[in-house]
Amino acid sequence: MAREWLDRWREGRIGFHRPETHPALMRHWPGLGVRPGTKVLVPLCGKSLDMRWLARHDHPVLGIELAAEAIEQFVAEGTGDVSRYQQGAFAICRQGSVELWAGDFFHFHVDQAAEIGAFYDRAALIALPPATRQRYAFHLAQLLLPGSHGLLISLSRAPGDEASGPPYHVPPEEVRELFAPNFQVTHLEDGEPEAQSGFRESVWALVRRGPLT
Ligand SMILES: C[S@@+](CC[C@H](N)C(=O)[O-])C[C@H]1O[C@@H](n2cnc3c(N)ncnc32)[C@H](O)[C@@H]1O
């Protein structure tokens, strides 16, 4: 799977990348109640411009991305000095208040997450095969303190219309099942089905409950 993502980035097959800030982030983030200054974890971040929006809204950002290529593109397309350092297995690239960690999200350890108080997942959960999604939800819970807020943008399809991914179809019931053990889960909205793919986005607010189960 890792090889497949690296190939996609090398070959420029990144149809998931949006050239603009996601409207659901702009619409819903302000209502979550995340205090300015809170560091936001963005798992499987790609080179999402949503990270710049969060940074502009007073949130230091910590993105984690497997493909170093994505991180290089992000900083090349941005402005400002870039500093680089190493933290364990991760090569880190910082531009302004966005730091991007190159490596596997599942290797990111809770000790490295000390200052994180919120998260933003757009197209992270839906990038993972079914068997890995449970691990993702648990790993995310481990990294966050109780009370941490998050916004999740998932994708689903009409029943019977599921195809293999990524992107994977993650039905609303699965989002609830995956996160309910450790998060309070609130459905915020559904997008319109896309004409070509039949996918529709669903947007969720999550609050980390404690202790871990
Ligand atoms: C569907 S894309 C979404 C990227 C970004 N969230 C966005 O909205 O544009 C999924 C990204 O996750 C990265 N990825 C996949 N598995 C990963 C892992 N285990 N750790 C870190 N990044 C991963 C891929 O390289 C890819 O850039």
Query: Which domains are delineated in the chain?
Result: 2-11+18-208 (3.40.50.150)
For residue 160, pLDDT beyond 70: no
Residue 212 — φ and ψ, nearest 5°?
-65, 140
**Centre of ligand 1 from the C-alpha of residue 71, in Å:** 11
pLDDT per position as a tens digit, 111-124:
988 899 999 999 99
Environment class of 85 (CB within 10 Å of its CB; exposed 0-12, middle 13-18, buried 19+): exposed
Mutate to test the pocket of ligand 1, among 51, 66, 112 (most ligand atoms within 8 A of CB): 66
The reported pLDDT for the residue numbered 188 is 98
For ligand 1, say whether the CB of 16 is within 6 Å of any of its atoms.
yes
pTM above 0.85, yes or no: yes
For ligand 1, say whether the CB of 44 is within 6 Å of any of its atoms.
yes
| Sequence-distant (≥ 6) Cβ neighbours of residue 94 within 8 angstroms | 82, 83, 84, 85, 100
The reported pLDDT for the residue numbered 79 is 94
pLDDT per position as a tens digit, 68-102:
999 999 999 999 999 999 999 999 999 999 999 99
Q: Using 50, 70 and 90 to split pLDDT, how confident is the model at 209?
A: very high
The reported pLDDT for the residue numbered 161 is 60
